[in-house]
């Protein structure tokens, strides 16, 4: 398990820096009415979404592109996504979410199991990571494997 400094060094060497500001972090928290985990905040200083490994992560900032704010609000309205989840990505037939209140922090589940994010009664066991840092570390490793 890498620490944030090692992840930053590896990310900068692989992708360059595309981080967001503290003001943009506060905007995410304000618009989604939640508090982001510390590891997410630290990683967002040098990574703000985009393709990493095999995952097209939504942008952390609003704009004309798909982003975590708009997609989370859309999912809250369309499928009653529980308030403590942020939509990170939507790979085909699945959803990757960040739980800002408890562990596992990141869950990658089949689309049919989205309604089970809170009760954990999944039809297909999801992939999970205890922290956003662990998930990000896995994506960086996958990126290295593809290079």
48-80 tens-digit pLDDT: 999 988 899 999 988 778 999 999 999 999 999
104/88 Cα distance (integer angstroms): 14
| Residue 134: pLDDT band with limits 50, 70, 90 | very high
Tokens of 16: 């360059």
∠135-48-128 over CA atoms, to 5°?
Answer: 15
45/47 Cα distance (integer angstroms): 6
pLDDT at 146: 63
| Residue 147: pLDDT band with limits 50, 70, 90 | low
Q: Has residue 88 got a pLDDT over 90?
A: yes
Q: Has residue 85 got a pLDDT over 90?
A: yes
Which one-letter DSSP state was computed for residue 139? H
> Which residues, at least 6 apart from 9, have a Cβ–Cβ distance to it below 8 Å?
none
What percentage of residues in the chain have a pLDDT greater than 90? 81
Task: Note the pTM of the prediction, 2 decimals.
Answer: 0.93
**Helix, strand, coil shares, percent, the chain, to 5:** 45, 20, 40
26/6 Cα distance (integer angstroms): 25
Q: Has residue 1 got a pLDDT over 60?
A: no
pLDDT at 113: 94
The answer to whether the Cα torsion of 68, 69, 75, 78 is positive or negative is negative
pLDDT at 14: 84
């Amino acid at each position: 398990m890498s620490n944030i400094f090692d992840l930053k060094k590896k990310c900068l060497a692989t992708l360059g820096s595309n981080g967001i500001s503290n003001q943009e972090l506060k905007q995410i928290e304000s618009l989604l009415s939640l508090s982001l985990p510390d590891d997410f905040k630290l990683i967002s200083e040098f990574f703000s979404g985009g393709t990493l490994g095999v995952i097209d992560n939504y942008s952390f900032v609003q704009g004309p592109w798909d982003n975590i704010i708009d997609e989370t609000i859309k999912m809250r309205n369309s499928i009653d996504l529980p308030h403590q989840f942020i939509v990170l990505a939507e790979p085909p037939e699945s959803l990757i979410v960040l739980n800002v209140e408890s562990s596992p922090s990141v869950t990658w589940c089949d689309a049919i199991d989205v309604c089970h994010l809170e009760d954990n009664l999944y039809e297909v066991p999801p992939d999970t990571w205890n922290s956003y840092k662990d998930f990000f570390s896995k994506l960086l490793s996958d990126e290295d494997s593809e290079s």
